[in-house]
Amino acid sequence: MKRVAFLALLALALVVLLSSGAMAAKLICISHQDIKGEMSVNKCLARGMEFAIMDADGFVRILTPREIEMTKKLNPKAFEMPGFGLKHYRLAPEIPPLPVSPEAG
């Protein structure tokens, strides 16, 4: 009985660990689908490329210029990472989390 409970708990822990990594969103270039990290997202935006946020379930939200401006102010590291198009979305890095403010600590 203890062994079955232990195996069930171990299986549950494994599922939680594997599923937690797949929850992150990615920035994907939707205007040039072939880019593969050759330049940063900032450089892509400067060239007029459009980006969207894709979540782990494949839902996409196209970013407006105003959303990009606000996100740059709150999370500038998100736009310093390499840009990837839709063909190479699996290689795209996850959007970095917001920096922690000194007041939070």
Where is pLDDT greater, at 61 or 103? 61
> Which amino acid appears at position 4 of this protein?
V
pLDDT at 70: 93
Report pLDDT digits (tens) over 43-63: 999 999 999 999 988 899 999
User: 0.75 exceeded by the pTM?
Assistant: no
**Taking all residues of the chain, what is their mean pLDDT, rounded to a whole number?**
79
28: tokens are 């994907």
The pairing of beta strand 51-54 with beta strand 26-29: antiparallel
pLDDT at 41: 92
